[in-house]
C-alpha cells in the first residue's frame, strides 16, 4: 500500500490538496497541511496523485 508523505515546512497552505482529496488532507489553523490518512488505498490513489501534482510547493509525495 502507498504511504503519503508531507514536508510540513514547505507547505504554504494553498489547500489545493484539500480540494483534490478532502478525505485525505486538511489544513490546520496555522495554514499547514494535515494528513488525515497515511496509507493510501487503491481507490483513493487517483485523487491523491492529483493532490500531489497540484501542490505548488511540492510539499507532498507518495512512497510506493
pLDDT of residue 22: 97
Looking at the whole model, is its pTM more than 0.75?
A: yes
d(C-alpha 49, C-alpha 22), whole Å: 13
Domain count, the chain: 1
Q: Look up the domain containing 45 and give its range.
A: 2-63
**CATH number of domain containing 14:** 3.30.70.20
pLDDT of residue 47: 96
pLDDT of residue 34: 98
Query: Residue 49 contacts by C-beta under 8 Å, 6 or more apart in sequence?
Result: 62
Residues of the chain where predicted confidence (pLDDT) is lower than 50: none
Amino acid at each position: 500500500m502507498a504511504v503519503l508523505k508531507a514536508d510540513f515546512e514547505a507547505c504554504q497552505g494553498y489547500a489545493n490538496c484539500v480540494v483534490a482529496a478532502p478525505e485525505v488532507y486538511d489544513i490546520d489553523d496555522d495554514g499547514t497541511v494535515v494528513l488525515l490518512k497515511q496509507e493510501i488505498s487503491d481507490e483513493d490513489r487517483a485523487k491523491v496523485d492529483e493532490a500531489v501534482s497540484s501542490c505548488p510547493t511540492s510539499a507532498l509525495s507518495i512512497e510506493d
